């Protein structure tokens, strides 16, 4: 109870089984949607492991006993195609279907993990789940164990975030306190890439890392150890040399890029290069279009 009166719940406390014939779709299915890969995946999933996420409906105020379908139209269509006659639904007290759908992210990794775990707990074999979702069994095995080693607070923070699975592999290498810090930082930056997670791991103090026992070879000779030490020293010198020159080189490249852009922005210069040195024009244009000097990071998984 607040000063403005009781808080209105958006959904009823309990689900309700409703005949499919009493559901009224608010949108017409696009032509060809039932031939799409997405619909085939939904149909296969419902057939193999049942309906994991209930559709959302709201009562039709002008026709008692009938309901508007706010969310889950493809799932309902799949049930109809499989011969079902009723479905368990979540009853919404708000008929704003656009607002509801706008705030749901179906692809969040944690949501997918929970769906897979729920299916496994219901007795669905991993190979059946893999077939339903169009994934390899090894991928289902990995996704079902994705949150092992992740603290509850970090899971709650990232539950709706579009994090790649690899992000959780990186978080698992941190202590619980650090996991929460990194999760909050990712939310604040609205950045959930593997690159950011790796950067956070690199900046994590050793005291906040999970200690993993190192496995050493069964036998390492003194000559091999000496050679590795020499190679490590050489590598450290090379890294130091690159660090010393990086700032200057980056400045030179940035100035050169700006200069080339200015030249190519002059129609007379660009026309002369095109007529007399056409072999240079494409290379100069490529340099002028570079948006970053540093190599681009690998795409997140």
Q: What pLDDT, on the 0 to 100 scale, is given for residue 20?
A: 93
DSSP sequence for the chain: -BTTBPPPPSB-SS-EEEEGGGEEESSPPPTTGGGSHHHHHHHHHHHHH---S--EEEE-TTSTT-EEEEE-HHHHHHHHHTT--EEEEEEBS---HHHHHHT--TT-HHHHHHHHHHHHHTT--HHHHHHHHT--HHHHHHHHTTTTT--HHHHHHTTTS---HHHHHHHTTB-HHHHHHHHHHHHHHT---HHHHHHHHHTS-GGGBPP-PPPPPS---HHHHHHHHHHHHHHHHHHHHHHHHHHHHHHHHHHHHHHHHHHHTSHHHHHHHHHH-HHHHHHHHHHHT-S-SSPPPPPP-
Of 180, 214, 248, which one is at a domain's C-terminal end?
214
Note whether 20 and 88 are same-domain residues.
yes
Q: What pLDDT, on the 0 to 100 scale, is given for residue 279?
A: 80
Tell me if 127 is assigned to some domain. no
Of 102, 123, 138, which one is at a domain's C-terminal end?
102
Q: What pLDDT, on the 0 to 100 scale, is given for residue 196?
A: 86
Q: For the chain, what is the domain count?
A: 3
Of 102, 136, 167, which one is at a domain's C-terminal end?
102
Q: What pLDDT, on the 0 to 100 scale, is given for residue 221?
A: 66
Contact 78, 42 (CB under 8 A): yes
Contact 197, 179 (CB under 8 A): no
Q: CB 87: neighbour CB atoms within 10 A?
A: 22
Contact 142, 154 (CB under 8 A): no
Beta strand pairing call for 56-59 and 16-19:
unpaired
User: pTM value?
Assistant: 0.42
Separation in Å, CA 130 to CA 44, 51, 114, 199, 300: 10, 15, 15, 32, 22
> In tens digits, what is the pLDDT along the chain, a chain of 301 residues?
445 556 566 677 788 899 999 999 888 887 888 888 778 878 877 887 777 778 889 998 888 889 998 888 888 999 999 999 999 998 887 655 444 444 444 447 787 777 778 778 877 787 777 776 667 778 778 888 888 899 999 999 998 888 888 899 999 999 999 999 999 988 888 888 888 888 888 888 888 998 766 555 555 567 777 777 777 777 777 777 766 666 666 667 777 778 888 878 888 888 888 888 888 877 887 777 765 555 444 433 3
Distance (Å, whole) CA 222 – CA 214? 19
Note whether 210 and 151 are same-domain residues.
yes
Distance (Å, whole) CA 40 – CA 134? 10
* CATH value at residue 55: 3.90.1530.10
Note whether 257 and 187 are same-domain residues.
no
- Structural domain containing residue 263: 222-288
Distance (Å, whole) CA 57 – CA 52? 16
Extract the tokens encoding 2.
Answer: 């607040």
| Dihedral sign (CA 163, 169, 173, 176) | positive
Note whether 75 and 28 are same-domain residues.
yes
Tell me if 142 is assigned to some domain. no
Distance (Å, whole) CA 33 – CA 147? 34
Distance (Å, whole) CA 167 – CA 150? 11
């Amino acid at each position: 109870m607040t000063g403005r009166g009781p808080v209105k719940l958006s959904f009823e406390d309990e689900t309700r089984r409703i005949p499919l014939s009493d559901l009224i779709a608010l949108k017409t299915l696009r032509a060809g949607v039932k031939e799409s890969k997405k619909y085939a995946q939904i149909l296969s999933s419902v057939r193999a492991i049942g309906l994991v996420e209930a559709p959302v409906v709201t009562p039709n105020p002008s026709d008692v006993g009938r309901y508007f379908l706010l969310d889950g139209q493809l799932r309902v269509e799949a049930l109809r195609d499989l011969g079902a006659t009723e479905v368990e639904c979540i009853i919404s007290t708000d008929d704003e279907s656009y607002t509801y759908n706008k705030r749901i992210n179906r692809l969040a990794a944690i949501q997918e993990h929970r769906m897979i775990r729920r299916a496994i707990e219901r007795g669905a074999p991993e190979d059946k789940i893999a077939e339903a979702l169009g994934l390899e069994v090894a991928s289902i095995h990995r996704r079902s164990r994705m949150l092992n080693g992740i603290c509850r607070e970090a899971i709650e923070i990232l539950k709706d975030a579009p994090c790649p699975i690899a992000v959780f592999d990186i978080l698992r290498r941190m202590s619980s306190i650090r996991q929460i810090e990194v999760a909050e930082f990712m939310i604040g930056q609205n950045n959930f890439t593997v690159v950011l997670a790796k950067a956070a791991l690199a900046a994590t103090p050793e005291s906040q890392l999970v200690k993993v026992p190192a496995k050493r070879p069964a036998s390492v000779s003194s000559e091999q150890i000496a050679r590795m030490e020499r190679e490590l020293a050489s590598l450290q010198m090379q890294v130091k040399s690159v660090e010393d020159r990086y700032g200057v080189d980056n400045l030179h490249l940035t100035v050169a890029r700006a200069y080339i852009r200015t030249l190519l922005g002059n129609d007379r210069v660009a026309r002369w290069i095109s007529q007399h040195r056409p072999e240079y024009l494409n290379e100069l244009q490529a340099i002028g279009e570079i948006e970053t000097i540093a190599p681009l990071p690998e795409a997140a998984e």
